[in-house]
């Protein structure tokens, strides 16, 4: 028999028949209890010799049973028998979040969860939420719940390990945010770079030339992309930032406020401030207000997020909208499509501008 890879487009009828025979026989063994739940299967070379077939035929058969949820793989260890789900149980998918996600940022994570859960439930799926408080235990808990498809929120490169661990266990994965690893993983993310670029372009078109950027955490993928968009717009306009024009505020109000106080100690202020998040912008606006400066008369401020409080600021905050619920919905759709055997593509969602009151042309000197 001629060996072939899983991805080969051409297979012989004989190979297909052998593959189907192996799958059927292994299914019978699993149903009869020949292999117990949690038991490790013999190695693939051993099974290939036992069945008298090519190694890749066994490999394909095992992969089929993994995809069906009968088996799961542990990278570097082998293949194990999964506990069969009950017949009346709805199919399940998982959403892997950050540790303490509900308290880290009350504006960012809840809409993603809402969009994900509502869409999945409407499609007849159960959703299991897990966080990274104890990554290995959480991954094992998802496995025990027969979750064979998981969406992972990825905010830093270190988060890639969790996605890779799930893939090693035979679990389908969709990344919420860009997946920068070495595996083939579909991702759903906001177009952070384009949103920040568009905001900066608007300020440039209004006549602004003196800028400050409120930057997020250095390792955060969203923050990195938003800074790139800001810098790209300035570079295209031929504008070089003055020293000290990038302020490390993080995403929250406290950082924006503290850096605002430091900025106000200088003699020359920018005419425009672009913030990595609405919350950092709110903190900066408080510092400006306490110093007697008016937004946007003295300084324009552009946020990012369009969180609920943005519309209730005085002045109301002009910002870039993060489509967070849509990210949740599209992530659930991609995961369910993949779980049902369909093909899915990586998706970047637009981040539109929301005009309010905090941006204007610079005052003529």
Residues spanned by CATH 3.40.50.2300 within the chain? 92-188+325-348, 192-323
Provide the terminal-to-terminal Cα distance of the chain, rounded to the nearest Å.
83
pLDDT for the residue 15: 47
Taking the C-alpha atoms of residue 317 and residue 304, their distance in angstroms, rounded to an integer, is: 9
| Beta-ladder partners of 173 | 150
Q: What is the pLDDT of residues 183-196, one digit of tens each?
A: 889 999 999 999 99
Residue 333, φ and ψ in degrees, nearest 5: -60, -45
Give the sign of the dihedral formed by CA 94, CA 95, CA 96, CA 100. negative
Query: Dihedral of the CA atoms 289, 248, 318, 205 (nearest 10)?
Result: 110
User: In this structure, what token pair is assigned to residue 81?
Assistant: 């028998």
Residue 318, φ and ψ in degrees, nearest 5: -75, 135
pLDDT per position in the chain (365 positions), as tens?
223 333 333 334 444 578 788 888 888 888 888 888 888 999 999 999 999 999 999 998 888 887 777 888 877 788 888 876 554 567 889 999 988 787 777 899 999 999 999 999 999 998 988 887 765 556 666 666 678 899 999 999 888 888 888 888 888 999 999 888 888 899 999 999 999 999 999 999 999 999 999 999 999 999 999 999 999 999 999 999 999 999 999 999 999 999 999 999 987 899 999 999 999 999 999 999 999 999 999 999 999 999 999 999 999 999 999 999 999 999 999 999 988 888 899 999 999 999 999 999 998 76
Pick the CATH number of 92-188+325-348 from 2.40.10.10, 2.170.270.10, 3.40.50.2300, 3.30.200.20: 3.40.50.2300
67-81 burial, b for 16+ CB within 10 Å, e for fewer?
Answer: eebbbbbeeeeebbb
CA atoms within 13 A on the CB side of 120: 30
CA distances from 70 to 25, 111, 143, 341 (A): 13, 34, 12, 16
- Whose CA is closest to 251, among 228, 297, 284? 284
Taking the C-alpha atoms of residue 277 and residue 302, their distance in angstroms, rounded to an integer, is: 9
CA distances from 249 to 121, 148, 226, 273, 320 (A): 38, 39, 14, 12, 18
- Whose CA is closest to 149, among 91, 110, 99, 101? 91
Taking the C-alpha atoms of residue 313 and residue 297, their distance in angstroms, rounded to an integer, is: 16
pLDDT for the residue 28: 84
Asked if residues 129 and 94 have their Cβ atoms less than 8 Å apart, the reply is: yes
Q: How far is CA 35 from the centre of its chain?
A: 37
CATH architecture observed for domain 13-81: Orthogonal Bundle (1.10)
Taking the C-alpha atoms of residue 363 and residue 365, their distance in angstroms, rounded to an integer, is: 6
287-312 burial, b for 16+ CB within 10 Å, e for fewer?
Answer: bbeeeeeebbeebbbbbbbbbebbee
Q: What is the pLDDT of residues 321-347, one digit of tens each?
A: 999 999 999 999 999 998 888 889 999
How many CB atoms neighbour CB 113 within 10 A?
19
Residues spanned by CATH 1.10.10.10 within the chain? 13-81
Taking the C-alpha atoms of residue 123 and residue 125, their distance in angstroms, rounded to an integer, is: 6
Q: Give pTM, 2 decimals.
A: 0.76
CATH number of 192-323: 3.40.50.2300
């Amino acid at each position: 028999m001629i060996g072939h890879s899983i991805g080969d487009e051409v297979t012989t009828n004989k190979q297909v028949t052998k593959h189907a025979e192996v799958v059927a026989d292994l299914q019978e063994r699993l149903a009869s209890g020949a292999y117990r739940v949690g038991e490790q299967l013999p190695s693939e070379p051993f099974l290939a010799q036992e069945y008298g077939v090519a190694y890749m035929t066994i490999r394909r058969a095992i992969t089929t049973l993994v995809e069906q949820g009968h088996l799961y793989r542990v990278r570097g260890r082998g293949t194990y028998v999964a506990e069969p789900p009950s017949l009346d149980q709805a199919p399940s998918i998982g959403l892997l979040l950050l540790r303490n996600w509900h308290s880290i940022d009350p504006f960012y994570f809840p809409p993603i969860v809402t969009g994900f859960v509502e869409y999945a439930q409407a499609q007849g799926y159960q959703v299991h939420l897990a966080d990274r408080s104890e990554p290995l235990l959480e991954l094992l808990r998802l496995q025990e719940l027969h979750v064979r498809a998981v969406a992972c929120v990825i905010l830093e490169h270190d988060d890639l390990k969790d996605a890779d661990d799930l893939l090693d266990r035979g679990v389908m994965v969709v990344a919420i945010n860009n997946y920068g690893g070495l595996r083939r993983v579909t991702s759903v993310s906001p177009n952070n770079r384009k949103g920040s670029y568009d905001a900066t372009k608007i300020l440039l078109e209004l006549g602004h030339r003196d800028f400050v950027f409120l930057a997020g955490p250095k390792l955060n993928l969203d923050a990195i992309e938003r800074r790139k968009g800001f810098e790209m717009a300035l570079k295209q306009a031929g504008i070089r930032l003055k020293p000290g024009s990038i302020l490390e505020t993080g995403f929250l109000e406290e950082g924006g406020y503290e850096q605002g106080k430091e900025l106000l100690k200088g003699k020359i202020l920018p005419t425009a401030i672009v913030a990595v998040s609405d919350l950092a912008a709110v903190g900066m606006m408080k510092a400006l207000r306490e110093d007697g400066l008016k937004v946007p008369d003295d300084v324009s401020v552009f946020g990012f997020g369009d969180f609920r409080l943005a519309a209730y600021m005085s002045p109301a905050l002009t910002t870039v909208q993060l489509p967070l619920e849509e990210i949740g919905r599209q992530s659930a759709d991609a995961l369910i499509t993949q779980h049902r055997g369909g093909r899915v593509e990586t998706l970047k969602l637009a981040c539109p501008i929301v005009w309010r009151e905090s941006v204007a042309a610079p005052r003529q000197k």
